[in-house]
Amino acid sequence: MPNLLDAAQPSGGALAHQDVQLVIIHDATGGPAEKLAQAVADGVESAGAQALIRSAAPSLTRSSPEAVPPDALWNWPSVTLGDLERGDGVVIVTTTSFGRISSSMAGVLDEAIDNLVSGELSGLVGSAIVCPGDHPGGEVGTYLSVIGNLMQLGMVVAGKPKATGADDMADKHDMGATPSPGHDLEEAYRQGAAVAKIAVKLAR
């Protein structure tokens, strides 16, 4: 059986699929979630796809990205329903607080489920990364909760790619990167590249 990731990689090197776009949603500006989101975006772009970084908004709208400027508390524009509808996949990067999804990310997922009820995201790739917030603990439970939301939206869930060689010894987390300086950014980069390759395959 051909490898899904290998099949998405043309022999010429980087993927020639700039029309494929992954929406990366993060919370907690200035913290590890934002840094991981940027690493995911770098990985997505290394695979030849486009990365659209958005912040977790308190309320989703159907506005165009230009109509939703960055908030004073955020470095990136707030995600809109239009972003999700136009994208070819979603990567959720969320902190966990008291074993739960952050309130801002929970709001995004709740509104997506309430509003995207006609299968707009069905069959697209979805992935998640969870990292501790101000009140750490419960990262695994939070991860599974995010995955459950992605599945409810009909998305094809992509986990973290397995490391190989020397990286395998340092690869401690099986379900998305969680913060230990340096290595986590590498994991997030690999995850972004892997998700992009799957998105390209699904878009064919």
* pLDDT tens profile 144-183: 999 999 999 999 999 988 766 555 544 555 555 554 445 6
Strands in the chain per DSSP E: 21-26, 50-55, 89-97, 100-101, 125-132, 156-157
Distance of alpha carbon 82 from alpha carbon 103, whole angstroms: 21
* Residue 104 forms part of a structural domain: yes
* Residue 102 forms part of a structural domain: yes
* Residue 204 forms part of a structural domain: no
pLDDT (average), residues 121-126:
96
Percentage of residues in the chain with pLDDT exceeding 90?
49
pLDDT tier, 76 (very low <50, low <70, confident <90, very high otherwise): confident
pLDDT (average), residues 80-89:
94
Count of domains observed in the chain: 1
pLDDT tier, 204 (very low <50, low <70, confident <90, very high otherwise): confident
Residue 185: which domain range?
15-199
* Residue 20 forms part of a structural domain: yes
3-state SS class at 97: strand
**Torsion over CA: 142, 51, 192, 151 (sign):** positive
- ∠ CA 177-182-183, nearest 5°, is 45
Total-model pTM: 0.80
pLDDT for residue 182: 56
* Residue 2 forms part of a structural domain: no
* Residue 136 forms part of a structural domain: yes
* pLDDT tens profile 36-69: 999 999 999 999 999 999 999 665 655 555 544 5
CATH classification of the domain holding 177: 3.40.50.360
* Residue 10 forms part of a structural domain: no
* Closest of 30, 84, 24 to residue 55, by C-alpha: 24
3-state SS class at 39: helix
Q: CB under 8 Å to 196, separation ≥6 — which residues?
A: 15, 20, 22, 43, 44, 47, 48, 49, 89
* Residue 9 forms part of a structural domain: no
pLDDT for residue 91: 98
